[in-house]
């Protein structure tokens, strides 16, 4: 039987590093040994002058302590019904692993847990695959970070097509959803992550929630902001 021991003094520093997207953190323990926590492989390397030991590590997160603003990743409740729009929440550990992987630009990751089937996540197709049963489910990501807003003079008129229909703000990272409308990525992802699996514009249920980058509009917005900024400086 596996025995797992809590990290008491180091846990806050390790958690902060993990949340910040670091690949590893090194800490000197009470005995003066270097402890390296490698988040990609989830192992602890304890290094002294004469030895080097390896231990598996897992995260523990008290669900009751989660902030009210927390929105988890979701997975399709009925994988055998492709059109099902019923989704359930992933636990906080999996949600955080996936968010960190997404920030690092990973296309696929596999999560292993003791005495559980390994699960592969495709972050491009937004699917979850049980590698034992080969059952595939759709997944919905937790929202990406809010965009850094452009700063424009209040007197400069902004074209309507540059405005997100959800936030009513100038878009920074516009994406095209299944309904054909363009939204700010963060606000669109908050919309679907909150369980609103219908179009904000038509109220028609989404068949899928994947959204693709509207690169042409993004480039047009960047040119508009550059020109507006240049004029305001003259």
Q: What would the pLDDT profile of 96-106 be if each residue is shown by its tens digit? A: 888 888 888 88
pLDDT at 163 over 90: yes
Asked if residues 128 and 136 have their Cβ atoms less than 8 Å apart, the reply is yes
3-state SS assignment for residue 189: helix
Confidence class of residue 208 from pLDDT cuts 50, 70 and 90?
A: confident
Least confident of 1-10, 146-155, 179-188: 1-10
2 part of a folded domain: no
Non-local (6+) Cβ contacts of 8 within 8 A are none
126 part of a folded domain: yes
Q: Tokens at residue 109, please?
A: 């990751």
The distance of Cα 181 from the centroid of its chain, to the nearest Å, equals 22
Number of domains in the chain: 3
pLDDT value, residue 228: 87
187 part of a folded domain: yes
Highest mean pLDDT pick, 53-62, 88-97, 133-142: 133-142
pLDDT value, residue 2: 46
pLDDT value, residue 111: 85
For residues 113-128, average pLDDT: 87
Q: Residue 218 CB: number of other CB atoms within 10 A?
A: 16
With tokens 């523990």, the residue in question is 60
Burial of 67 (0-12, 13-18, 19+ CB in 10 A): exposed
Q: Which domain holds residue 171?
A: 160-233
Confidence class of residue 55 from pLDDT cuts 50, 70 and 90?
A: confident
Q: How far apart are CA 61 and CA 19, in angstroms?
A: 12
For residues 122-147, average pLDDT: 90
Whether 51 and 83 share a structural domain: no
Whether 119 and 181 share a structural domain: no
Whether 49 and 76 share a structural domain: no
pLDDT at 205 over 50: yes
Q: How far apart are CA 172 and CA 152, in angstroms?
A: 13
Least confident of 9-13, 103-107, 139-143, 197-201: 9-13
pLDDT at 78 over 90: no
Q: How far apart are CA 146 and CA 116, in angstroms?
A: 34
> In which element (H, E) is residue 130 found?
strand 127-130
Between residues 161 and 7, the one the model is more confident about: 161
170 part of a folded domain: yes
Q: How far apart are CA 34 and CA 102, in angstroms?
A: 29
**Residue-wise pLDDT tens digits, 165-176:** 999 999 999 999
Q: How far apart are CA 119 and CA 133, in angstroms?
A: 10
Whether 136 and 185 share a structural domain: no
86 part of a folded domain: yes
165 part of a folded domain: yes
Whether 207 and 171 share a structural domain: yes
The distance of Cα 197 from the centroid of its chain, to the nearest Å, equals 18
pLDDT value, residue 180: 96
Q: Tokens at residue 227, please?
A: 């020109």
Asked if residues 228 and 152 have their Cβ atoms less than 8 Å apart, the reply is yes
CATH number at residue 218: 3.30.40.10
Q: How far apart are CA 90 and CA 140, in angstroms?
A: 10
Asked if residues 187 and 164 have their Cβ atoms less than 8 Å apart, the reply is yes
Partnered with residue 109 across adjacent β-strands are 121
Q: What is the mean pLDDT of the chain?
A: 83
Whether 106 and 136 share a structural domain: yes
120 part of a folded domain: yes
Whether 89 and 40 share a structural domain: no
Whether 164 and 227 share a structural domain: yes
CATH number at residue 132: 3.30.720.50
pLDDT value, residue 1: 36
67 part of a folded domain: no
Q: Tokens at residue 145, please?
A: 């970070």
Distances from the Cα of 92 to the Cα of 43, 61, 219, angstroms: 19, 7, 36
Highest mean pLDDT pick, 95-104, 108-117, 125-134: 125-134
pLDDT at 148 over 60: yes
């Amino acid at each position: 039987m596996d025995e797992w021991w809590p990290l008491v003094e180091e846990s806050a520093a390790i958690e902060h590093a993990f949340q910040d997207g670091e690949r590893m953190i090194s800490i000197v323990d009470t005995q003066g040994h270097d402890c390296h926590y490698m988040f990609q492989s989830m192992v602890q390397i304890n290094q002294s002058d004469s030895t080097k030991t390896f231990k598996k590590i897992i995260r523990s997160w008290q669900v009751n302590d989660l902030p009210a603003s927390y929105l988890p990743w979701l997975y399709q409740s009925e994988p055998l019904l492709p059109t099902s729009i019923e989704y359930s929440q992933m636990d906080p550990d999996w949600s955080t692993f996936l968010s960190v992987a997404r920030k690092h630009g990973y296309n696929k990751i596999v999560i292993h847990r003791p005495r559980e089937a390994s699960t592969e996540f495709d972050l491009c197709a937004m699917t979850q695959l049980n590698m034992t049963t080969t059952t595939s489910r759709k997944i919905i990501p937790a929202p990406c970070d809010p965009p850094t807003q452009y700063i424009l003079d209040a007197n400069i008129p902004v074209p309507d097509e540059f405005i997100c229909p959800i936030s009513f703000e100038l878009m920074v990272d516009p994406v095209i959803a299944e309904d054909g409308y363009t939204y700010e990525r963060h606000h669109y992802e908050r919309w679907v992550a909150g369980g609103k699996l219908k179009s904000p514009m038509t109220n028609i249920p989404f068949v899928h929630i994947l959204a693709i980058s509207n690169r042409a509009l993004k480039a047009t917005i960047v040119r508009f902001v550059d020109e507006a900024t240049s004029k305001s400086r003259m």
